[in-house]
Structure 1
Amino acid sequence: MQPRRVRAMARAFRRSPLLIAFALGSLLVALTPWLGMASTGPGGRGPTPPPGPVPFDQQTAQQSPHHGVAPANAMEPMAPVLDRTGWTATASDEETAKENGRAANVLDGDAATLWHSRWSGTPAPLPHSITVDMHRTTVVSALVYQPRKDSPHGRVGQYSISVSTDGRNWGSPVGTGTLADDTAAKTLAFAPQGARFVKLTAVTEAGNRGPWSSAAELNLLGDPGTPAATVDLPRTGWTATASDEETAKENGRAANVLDGDAATLWHSRWSGTPAPLPHSITIDMHRTAAVSALVYQPRKDSPNGRAGAYTVTTSTDGTTFGAPVASGTWRDDDTVKTATFTRAANARYIRLTVTREAGNRGPWTSAAEIRLSGPANPAAHGSWSRITGFPLVPVATAVLPGDKLLAWSAYAVDRFGGSNGYTQTAILDLKTGKVTQRRIDNTGHDMFCPGIAMLADGRVLVTGGSNAEKASIYDPATDAWSATADMNIARGYQAMTLLSTGEAFVLGGSWSGATGDKSGEVWNPATRTWRKLAGVPATPAMTADPRGAYRADNHMWLYATSGGKVLQLGPSKQMHWITTGGNGSLTSAGNRADSQDAMTGNAVAYDVGKLLTLGGSPAYENTPATRRAYTVSITGGQVQAARTGDMGHARAFGNSVVLPDGKVAVFGGQAHPVPFSDATSVLTPELWDPATGRFTPLASMAVPRNYHSVANLLPDGRIFSGGGGLCGDCATNHSDGAVFTPPYLLKADGSPKPRPVITGDVPPRAAAGTSLTVGTEGAVASFVLMRASAATHSTDNDQRRIPLTSKATGTGTYEVALPADKGVVLPGTYMLFALDAQGVPSIARFVTVT
């Protein structure tokens, strides 16, 4: 065998020890009866469960989270599959002359029978639609589309999904997107809501082979764990009581579900004679409020007492409880569950009654935390758009001029597995919502898990990842990818930033490539070559991750300043100044106040020389995330860090975006990070205000966004949030995204606020230190530059917000000054926003600062 192939196989085995994982899993299963399995009783940590497969979060701890084996229930959706008994299906047209292509075939459980649009005689033109009538109203959150497997003809490409309660009034689509041209089942998610009818409309055929549409099977998913258009209700002053609780052998009091600590539990009485099912716990808000969902977080340390079958009832007086507003059966796992009410209830008391333990292990019930959600106020909490489907999991994204969003993943649309030399990409047109897919072969670069830097001329530099030494460039002006020189050091999970000199700096990245110190290097745009920085080792900037460099030098937070210098401010608790001239240097900048290491947290520059760091955890996975946030301020060469207000939720794998008004929005993440898992997902975004240092909740997300998710500020002042997963045939692939409209754009009724308008032509290019003449409709209060950014793996080192000085030179005309210091305004593409006195932003104009 050739030495190169031997090295490649060894590297792949080291990074993807599937055989080891399977062997360990089998060994653990075999040895379970002999490894401390004596029962300890249902309380405390509960009785030891019977022997079974190694849980997925334990499996991933034993191996690379990129190449972990799928959970045992990998094909089971995270939301329940609704029972199709009594359902019917109709279609806009169907083939009956030359084949049995009736709509009813999508509900017969036989993937060999099809619905097919009419093709005999004169084919029915696109679009085609098929409608499922459930004959009852229920909460529905996704449509699962199974393409035919015998032929590619009729696979759905562009699609839309609409829902209705009566079959006549459909409203705007709840989901749109583009599907990959393959035979894999597609889960098309949308914001959960009550509906009876669900319509799938095929706009194009995936391969453009003809005017046809087909489907082998359609399923619908129910309540996935978060309601639409809701927000967490503040728990201040709340109390909890239970039908029974364990107090003799553990602190299992009901009050523990409200303390914000998932390690403390309410547990039904188990010592002595266990209290029989059903068990109930009642939340008293001590005020009447509109409530639309109950959020239940199971205990994580043991499966005992997980709620299975349940009902939720409400009361205004604590005595009379009406008919259930929600009921169902939750899965036997540790994911956060939500009971979405069929209607909002004005109530003071909310009671969760559990009639069966999820795993039928015993007569027990437990809960780590319980929260309640109410209808969101758009002016305070913002709102979400429909969910847009992508033909891949958007693991990395970059904002482009022309209202485009570039996304890419790996060699396949939903999985990865090595250095294949090509990458799946997609571009979302933000004006039309259309998503186009393209496979990039010409660079020989599988760009999975890369470093990214937005270059001075507006191009996107992507380095390393699966093809660990490669570097590629995307040019939005020509919509073309090209290769540039390979890096000196092969890397994956490295960090990058553009420098004030126009060069690009990279550091770390031990996930891929040979082991050893991943010291810094710099790419020169003039020579298109890389220069090693022997004086910038990665080791001092590592976290203390128990898996060593493989995990400890990942996803560093970098902030470029004047003279080619960079501040490395995390995720390690120790910070460093880096110079990039000559061989470079790395010197201590002190610790980030009292912060611990915060891997898979992030940092965002919300003002000149001012950054906010959020969340993360001491190790990459399987360690509790933190709620803490810190500000880091740079004055000259001095760095000061201080703790600011805590987030309402602990988060790792979250994404943060600075807004034009200087506030920072944070999306998604997990309280206990486990790659490829939706357990402990945080579905409530939060908004940090630099004026107060406090976080406030925003409208809940419909889809978890954890590992491999992204978020980006868009040119209209909204935010794209998407992705998560990329783990093959598992239940946590989220090949979609949605746009969040922040509250600064909305009135209380959800209608848009009036916003400033930039008029006339704005120069597309301007030099640092010069001024722009900008016209507006009426008076505005200020202007700000927001750097076009790129995100992956919770990290976006390209983000920065630069408030500008301006003066009125006439009615609706302003002279806007650009900073002269290129350490403040890095060269590159920016979005120029005008803001009114209330902080409402205009739609941006793109400007390249040279």
Structure 2
Amino acid sequence: MHPRSVRALTRAFRRSPLLVALALGSLLVALTPWLGVASTGPGGRGPTSDPSPGAADQRPAQQSPHHAVAPANAMEPAAPLLSRTGWTATASDEETVGENGRAANVLDGSTATIWHSKWTGTPAPLPHSITVDMHRTAVVSGLVYQPRVTGINGRVGQYSISLSTDGLNWGSPVATGTLADDASAKTLGFAPKGARFVRLTAVTEAGNRGPWTSAAELNLLGDPGTPAATVDLPRTGWTATASDEETTKENGRAGNVLDGDAATHWHSRYAGTPVPLPHSITIDMHRTASVAALVFQPRRDGVNGRVGAYTVTTSTDGTTFGAPVARGTWRDDNTVKTATFTSTVSTRFIRLTATGEAGNRGPWSSAAEIRLSGPANPAAHGSWSRITGFPLVPVATAVLPGNKLLAWSAYAVDRFGGSNGYTQTAILDLKTGTVTQRRIDNTGHDMFCPGIAMLADGRVLVTGGSNAEKASIYDPATDTWTATADMNIARGYQAMTLLSTGEAFVLGGSWSGAAGDKSGEVWSPATRTWRTLPGVPATPAMTADPAGAYRADNHMWLYATTGGKVLQLGPSKMMNWITTGGSGTLKPAGLRADSPDAMTGNAVAYDIGKLLTLGGSTAYQNVPATRRAYTVSISAGQATSARTGDMDHARGFSNSVVLPDGKVAVFGGQSFPVPFSDATSVLTPELWNPATGRFTPLASMAIPRNYHSVANLLPDGRIFSGGGGLCGDCATNHADGAVFTPPYLLNADGTPKPRPVVSGGVPARAAAGSSLTVTTQGAVSSFVLMRAAAATHSTDNDQRRVPLRSTAVTTGTYTVSLPADKGAVIPGTYMLFALNAQGVPSVAKFITVY
């Protein structure tokens, strides 16, 4: 699709997303006969001229514009709705005099009836709670809250969700957060867990109109295929065999499910006389291990053979298989599926048996990849906190002093921007978990799909996006937004970084604004104006994306160095040196080793002049992502790159965060990046060790984090991971986030490790090249500065790790030296961590380096 056509469709979708969705849906139906699908099999969608399921499904790739239509299955919930047969509901209080506000109304299937807290006489004060009793134990992963549709009073604002197996013991909440003050249904997700009772507690009323709470309907979501507290088992040495496999018409061998390539697959035999269902595939780990779940990735190149009804059985000897440890029916889509076992099993052999084809198209079965998950060890794999709900999808985030996280998205709570001149924002208080929402109108700036730079004085500069020429500044000291001068070139999806000079540099961004080269420009904090850099065109830094500039100059990876110089190290395969004085210059810096273009990937500075690039794809969407990772080192004005160890998973739209110990954690992403989709999601984070160049798995995520997701290092050494989606009413909107505790903070039993404490000597401000006298409680081994950073669209050019030289003066007192080179420690707000001999970091102290 031509970029201008894409932009036209984007504008149309902004005006009426439903009409565009319906129009494209009708077009897809009309084109079905031309897409290689004809009527032969029981499902009416089997192959005709070629009985090969693979041959029947070679369809043109869907060309989705950035903000066009979500995938066809997007309206389906991310997890199955549980049947409400036999359920009952009770409430802390209910209105029965002034209206029929009984708790049972949330289960009657009618949005015209509601539960309402007591309001006649003396209203019952907040909080109010309503409890659903399923009268059976089931895996639960979310609560769907439908506010009343006949009025506004009583909409839930701040909330918590708790689970219980007996109705007496509730434990800590599995989810907390704040809901937007509107009538849309809200899906409140959490890590899957077995429970009988689910309790929603309203802490506040969304509009603060009174001490009321109401709900029209409540539903619960079942097992989403994302088991909690598990980790991928290493597949080294594994083999796979099948009851039958196709080797004549295609390479459909069983071993393909273990090759790490989602483009290959196992397929049941269909040449000649197809082998009838059931079909089975057996994994032999060649060792005994504890297994908690089987993770199944459907074939990506077609629909035939998707597994529907299934069972999973296990064996210690490969001969005798016991009763199923999991059974069910998977949906007919291309999302990654998980069969969560009823209990953890110590075994060697795992057998997946397909008893039905998901779409009833024929007697076929197939699988692209199969993985097994075992119990996570917190000391090796980390752990996740409860899910925190936001009143928006956190598409962009910035870490602030005072243990705050700023998030913003678009002009509306669940929809992307439309140049409407305002933006929804939210601030998460990391100490209390409270989320507050605010709409920003005074800057006239819809800050969706922006560039971001953390300024030298700690403020946040946000540029372009939906209002493509605008620039706004957030000041955390005063909690205010102000406008600054418009850019000379209107942009969206541009790259930004602060320079060693304290100025802010911007490049690219053809998603918004008029067509043409989006050359560089620089914002001066002294004059609050922009100057153009005609010597820094964007074209040499573009990828070869088939969609052209609209996609080719997005989300560039920038690293500021000495004297206002910048290394543009991706996502284009050619790196470039940029100077920003005068008219500026751009010169090639060499290829990024043997890497192709890596749009949807990212880069992170893990040491002074050392960066890691991860994943990405040769085009923005609809092409496979890569598992590859590269290091880029800067020395004597030269950039050299080398391939390091590969990730275990291919990833596009992932997020990467450098930790105080120099390791890099990567979260989420898709093996086949498609905006607004949860298909091919990667739910296992990985951790890269610079000492070995290898990646190891971390504890699985409960919710996919793909397109429009973020991740940030927090002041306590943990990581926030959130967002994804923002596509109108589709089911892939993830208006939430969770905090990940890395393994360096945990013992094997999940308890916190003792941490060093920085007790004094860290001033609010310090000059580059100065020395600090820092006191600690007990001995420490090293100190490091971690720049307070901002992330959006998988890109974070602000984060960098700066190891510091330190000398022990006495026990608990250290002289800590800051680098004199502002290219190493660019001006701005940093988090100062102390690390002990075991690599455990302290809670950080904020310091502004100038």
Match of 1:5?
none
| One-letter amino acid of the structure 1 residue matched with residue 289 of structure 2 | A
The aligned residue for residue 544 of structure 2 is 544
Q: Which residue number in structure 2 is paired with residue 64 of structure 1?
A: 65
CA 712–31 in structure 1, closer or farther in 2 if over 3 Å, else same: closer
Distance 1:602 1:529, change over 3 A: same
The within-5 A match list for 1:129-168 is 129-168=129-168
Question: Which residue is 1:795 aligned to?
Answer: 795
1:599 maps to what in 2? Answer: 599
Offset of 1:324 from its aligned partner? 2.1
> C-alpha distance in 1, partners of 2:674/2:728?
16
Other-structure match for 2:45: none
| Cα distance in structure 2, aligned partners of 1:35 and 1:496 | 42
Distance apart, 1:773 and its partner CA: 1.3
Q: 1:728 to 1:607 in 2, by over 3 A?
A: same
Query: Aligned-pair distance for 1:25?
Result: 5.0
Alignment of 1:255-404 (within 5 A): 255-404=255-404
Q: Secondary structure of the residue that 1:256 maps to in structure 2?
A: helix
Q: How many residues align?
A: 834
Aligned residues with identical type, % of pairs: 83
Deviation at 1:47, TM superposition (A): 4.2
Hey, what's the Cα distance between the residues in 1 that align with 2:185 and 2:530? Answer: 43
Q: 1:417 offset after TM fit, Å?
A: 4.1
Distance in structure 1 (CA, Å) of the matches to 2:682 and 2:594: 25
Contact 2:163 2:173 in 1 (8 A): yes
For residues 461-504 of structure 1, what are the alpha-carbon distances to aligned partners after superposition, in whole Å with 9 as ceiling and x for unaligned? 00000000000000000000000000000000000000000000
Equivalent residue letter for 2:11? A
Match of 1:650 in 2: 650
CA distance in 2, matches of 1:334, 1:280: 19
Aligned mates of 2:34, 2:256 — CA distance in 1: 34
- Does structure 1 retain, via aligned residues, the 8 Å contact 2:53–2:304? no
Query: CA offsets, 1:195-248, max 9 Å, x none?
Result: 111111111110111111111111111111210000000111112222222223
User: Which piece of structure 1 moves more, 583-592 or 95-104?
Assistant: 95-104
What is the deviation of 1:138?
1.4
1:446-457 mapped onto 2 (5 Å cutoff): 446-457=446-457
Q: Which amino acid aligns with 1:715?
A: P
Secondary structure of 1:111's counterpart equals coil
**Which one-letter code corresponds to 1:191 in the other structure?**
A
Q: Partner residue of 1:12?
A: 11
Partner of 1:621: 621
**CA-CA distance at 1:44 after TM superposition:** 5.1
How many angstroms does 1:127 deviate by? 0.8
Q: Which secondary structure does the structure 2 equivalent of 1:518 belong to? A: coil
Q: Quick check: 1:771–1:817 contact (8 Å CA) kept in 2?
A: yes
Residue pair 1:40, 1:48 contacting (<8 A) in 2 also: no
- By how many angstroms is 1:26 displaced? 3.4
Distance across 2 between alignment mates of 1:132 and 1:529: 57
8 Å contact from structure 1 (residues 145, 219) kept in 2:
yes
Does structure 2 conserve the Cα–Cα contact (< 8 Å) formed by 1:625 and 1:652?
yes
> Hey, what does 1:52 align to over in structure 2?
none
Deviates most, 203-212 or 316-325: 316-325
Asked if 2 retains the 8 angstrom alpha-carbon contact of 1:461 and 1:473, the reply is yes
Change in CA separation of 1:407 and 1:48 when aligned onto 2, cut-off 3 Å:
closer
The range that moved more, 350-359 or 441-450, is: 350-359
Q: CA deviation at 1:811?
A: 2.3
Work out the CA distance in 2 between the residues paired with 1:27 and 1:209.
Answer: 46
- Which string of whole-angstrom CA distances, capped at 9 and with x for unpartnered residues, describes residues 748-773 of structure 1? 00000011000035211001111111
Change (3 A) 1:451 1:288: same
DSSP 3-state at the match of 1:29 = helix
Bigger Cα displacement from structure 2, 79-88 vs 404-413:
79-88
1:45 counterpart = 2:44? no
Q: Which residue identity lines up with residue 493 of structure 1 in the other structure?
A: Y
Which amino acid letter does the alignment assign opposite residue 480 of structure 2?
A: A
Contact 1:499-1:505 at 8 Å conserved across structures: yes
Displacement, 1:515?
A: 0.3
Name the counterpart of 1:573.
573
Matched residues in 2 for 1:515 and 1:11: separation? 15
CA contact (8 A) 1:599 1:620 kept: yes
Residue type of the alignment partner of 1:565:
K
Question: Which is worse superposed, 807-816 or 630-639?
Answer: 807-816
Amino acid at match of 1:709: S
TM superposition shift of 1:447: 0.1
Q: Which moved more, 1:282-291 or 1:151-160?
A: 282-291
Whole-angstrom distance in 2 between the partners of 1:242 and 1:169 = 45
The 8 Å contact of residues 829 and 849 in structure 2, kept in 1 or not, is answered as yes
Contact 2:9 2:65 (8 Å CA) reproduced: no
Aligned-partner Cα distance in 2 for 1:10–1:365: 37
The question of whether the paired residues in 1 share the 8 Å contact of 2:12 and 2:20 is answered with no
| Residues 645-675 of structure 1: CA deviation (Å, up to 9, x unaligned) | 0000000000000000000000000000100
Shift of the alpha carbon at 1:70? 3.2
- The CA distance in 1 between the partners of 2:270 and 2:400, in whole Å, is 59
Preserved contact between residue 455 and residue 828 of structure 2 (Cα < 8 Å): yes
Partner of 1:727: 727
Alpha-carbon displacement from aligned partner over 1:711-769 (angstroms, at most 9, x marks no partner): 00000000000000000100100000000000000000000001100003521100111
1:490 corresponds to 2:490: yes
Equivalent residue, structure 2, for 1:707: 707
Distance 1:37 1:726 in 2: 31
**What is the CA deviation profile of residues 592-640 of structure 1, one whole-angstrom value per residue up to 9, with x for unaligned ones?**
0110000010000000000000000000001110000000000021110
Q: Return the offset for 1:64.
A: 1.6
How far apart, in 2, do the equivalents of 1:416 and 1:794 lie?
A: 17
Partner of 2:808: 808
Measure, in 1, the Cα distance between the counterparts of 2:584 and 2:25. 46
Query: Do the aligned partners of residues 158 and 16 (structure 1) sit closer, same or farther apart at CA in structure 2, a change above 3 Å counting?
Result: closer
The superposition leaves residues 327-361 of structure 1 with CA deviations (integer Å, 9 ceiling, x where unpaired) of 22111110101111221111111111222111111
User: Does the CA-based 8 Å contact 1:16-1:64 persist in structure 2?
Assistant: no
Q: Is the 8 A contact 2:20 2:69 kept in 1?
A: no
- What is the aligned partner in structure 2 of residue 182 from structure 1? 182
Alignment partners' CA distance in 1, 2:263 and 2:51: 16
Structure 1 residue 828 corresponds to structure 2 residue 832? no
Code of the aligned partner of 1:114: I
User: What one-letter code is carried by the residue in structure 2 that aligns with 1:12?
Assistant: R
Query: Which residue number corresponds to residue 589 of structure 1?
Result: 589
In structure 2, distance between residues paired with 1:314 and 1:9: 54
Q: Are 2:781 and 1:781 equivalent residues in the alignment?
A: yes
Please state whether the residue corresponding to 1:252 is helix, strand or coil: coil
- Mapping of residues 407-806 of structure 1, within 5 Å: 407-806=407-806
> Equivalences for 1:83-122 in 2 at 5 Å?
83-122=83-122
Distance 2:811 2:793 in 1: 45
C-alpha separation in 1, matches of 2:15 and 2:586? 33
Rounded to whole Å, the distance in 2 between the matches of 1:821 and 1:702 is 42
**Is contact 2:602-2:655 (8 Å) kept?**
yes
Residues 1:276 and 1:170: Cα distance change in structure 2 (over 3 Å)? same
TM-superposed CA distance for 1:251, in Å, is 2.1
Q: Quick one: distance in 2 between partners of 1:205 and 1:683?
A: 34
Q: TM-score, normalised by structure 2?
A: 0.96
The residue aligned with 2:44 is: none
Opposite residue 133 of structure 1, the aligned amino acid is: D
CA distance in 2, matches of 1:647, 1:673: 16
* Residue pair 1:40, 1:46 contacting (<8 A) in 2 also: no
C-alpha spacing 1:33/1:173, structure 2 compared with 1 (3 Å): same
Residue matched to 1:819:
819
Contact 1:194 1:342 in 2 (8 A): no
The superposition leaves residues 760-811 of structure 1 with CA deviations (integer Å, 9 ceiling, x where unpaired) of 3521100111111111001100000000000000000001000000111222
Q: CA deviation at 1:33?
A: 2.8
- Tell me if structure 2 keeps the 8 A contact 1:70–1:729: no
Matched residue SS, 1:106: helix
Alpha-carbon spacing, 1:829–1:87, altered in 2? closer, same or farther (3 Å): same
Paired residue secondary structure (1:45): helix
Q: CA deviation at 1:74?
A: 3.5
- Counterpart amino acid of residue 444 in structure 1: G
Pairwise CA distance, 1:141:
0.6
